[in-house]
Amino acid sequence: MRINCVVDVGANRGQFAESLRALGYQGRIVSFEPVVASYQQILERSSDDENWISYHLALGDFNGTQRINVAKETALSSFLPPNEYVLRQFAPAVTA
């Protein structure tokens, strides 16, 4: 069985998809990213790739809108507020 579609949830800036392409994967990639600035970077990176589609939204267990906590390092953005451990370990990366 060959993989013909990869779903990239919380795609950030598209780094994972680009690494798949660098490894030779040519199948479909579907990226989901709710943070506007990160999604814009995915659009730029995927503009010449007809097998890479993206959606500016998050996936979850309900239909609706929700505020996201955008971290300075956007890969650490979350709908949950940063807990004490995250603030201790990654404070410069999560505080904007």
| pTM, full prediction | 0.86
Tell me which residue has tokens 């953005």. 77
> Measuring CA to CA, which residue among 15, 11, 73 is closest to residue 39?
11
What pLDDT, on a 0 to 100 scale, did the predictor assign at position 80? 87
Could you tell me the domains of the chain?
1-65 (3.40.50.150), 66-96 (no CATH)
Which pLDDT band, with edges at 50, 70 and 90, does 96 fall under?
A: low
The yes-or-no verdict on residue 24 having pLDDT over 70 is: yes
The yes-or-no verdict on residue 95 having pLDDT over 80 is: no
Q: What number of other Cβ atoms are within 10 A of residue 60's Cβ? A: 11
